[in-house]
Amino acid sequence: MADWQKITGGITAPRGYQAAGITAGLKPSGLPDLALILSDVEAIAAGVFTTSQVKAACVDYCRQRLQAKHNARAILCNAGQANAATGNQGWFDALESGMAIAQALNIPSESVLLASTGVIGQRIKMDALRSGIPKLVAALSETGSDAAASAIITTDLVTKSIALETTIGDRPVRIGGIAKGSGMIHPNMATMLGFVTCDAAVSPALWQQMLTRAADRSFNSITVDGDTSTNDSLIALANGQSRTPAITEVGVESERLEAMLTAVCQHLAKAIARDGEGATCLIEVEVTGAHDELSARQIAKTIAGSSLVKSAIFGRDPNWGRIAAAAGRAGVPFHQENLQIKLGDFLMLENGQPLTFDRAAASAYLKQAAIGAYLQEDTVLITVSVGNGYGKGKAWGCDLSYDYVRINAEYTT
């Protein structure tokens, strides 16, 4: 049983945070497009960012800020323009954005972190951003999480938010998070955008280590389409406002906090995979029996990312051969005679030997998952064992539908 409970409040559930989201005119749709998260005090800051060689200006900006200073108070996010591949002017726009929000908040510009999402190659509409900042700051609220979550999305169908609470040192500690992402998601820093707040006190090095591991077990274990964004950013703040003793070394308290951080990240990551462009169901792949966790996750990610597996699930075809083929090309050695594959409760392969199973019932399982009617709502469970090792890992993805092509064929038109 988990050592935490789910609470309301999202990104502003932890003590000492406010958030806001407004319509500034950045999106052609007229929907909310500018978000702000603010800590009442300087917070320890950590980040994980895209590994792409083509990076948005906000990514370079945040990396520079976090290398020089492990603290921040504010995160400003614009939606509509990615400000990636925009040259020197894109960098100057990022700098101006940081300075403008810092001035409005009366804080140092070094305490501001940035994120952007939208069409690659398009600069931020700076006139709209400048005009929107006073309204954004005025909208800050301790109940502003939903507004911020709405203002960071683009092709998402739903907002993504979570907050959990545990007890450390006989005092409640909370972690909240919001995220966006629906396409251009692949397990190579695949957050798109994720923001996490925490009211515990944690040392900078430990907080960064926790976030990196949590990202590996969540955002770096999801895939929608095999593409990695230029803007992927996962930023986490810890402001110490729970008034618990500072966590400075590995131990029971750090492990409890990291487990809750991982749970928050996994919830948001699965929400992104579930909301994949054109998706009708979430796919969860669990691999056991590998040599180590890294190997198990690699196999799981390969299966979840296979276009053939994803297409078969969309077609409600229980074609386990595609699962076996994906596992075999994952780059992880295992003996074929040890391979076991299950789809839901249907055992299809045991000790490398195919088994007879009810294909009609297995297809019905996939159909029911597509409408959220099966045991675990809209989740298709694929379970694979590759041996007797202790390594186990999970990955998440979604099916590949006709709508994915339509959405992306029309993205800029």
The catalytic residue positions are 191
Beta strand ranges found along 204-306 (DSSP E): 222-223, 233-238, 282-289
CA torsion sign, 19 to 23 to 26 to 27?
positive
How far apart are the C-alpha atoms of 276 and 278, rounded to whole Å?
6
DSSP H or E segment with residue 118: strand 112-119
How far apart are the C-alpha atoms of 241 and 222, rounded to whole Å?
32
How far apart are the C-alpha atoms of 277 and 183, rounded to whole Å?
6
How far apart are the C-alpha atoms of 222 and 397, rounded to whole Å?
5
How far apart are the C-alpha atoms of 194 and 197, rounded to whole Å?
10
Q: Closest by alpha carbon to 48, among 66, 32, 75? A: 66
Q: Count the Cβ atoms, other than its own, within 10 Å of residue 332.
A: 20
Torsion of CA 128, 227, 370, 293, to 10 degrees: -120
Structure token pair of residue 126 = 């700076």
How far apart are the C-alpha atoms of 142 and 155, rounded to whole Å?
27
Residue 32 burial class via C-beta count within 10 angstroms: exposed 0-12, middle 13-18, buried 19 and up: buried
CA torsion sign, 137 to 141 to 142 to 146?
negative
Structure token pair of residue 99 = 């300075």
How far apart are the C-alpha atoms of 19 and 17, rounded to whole Å?
7
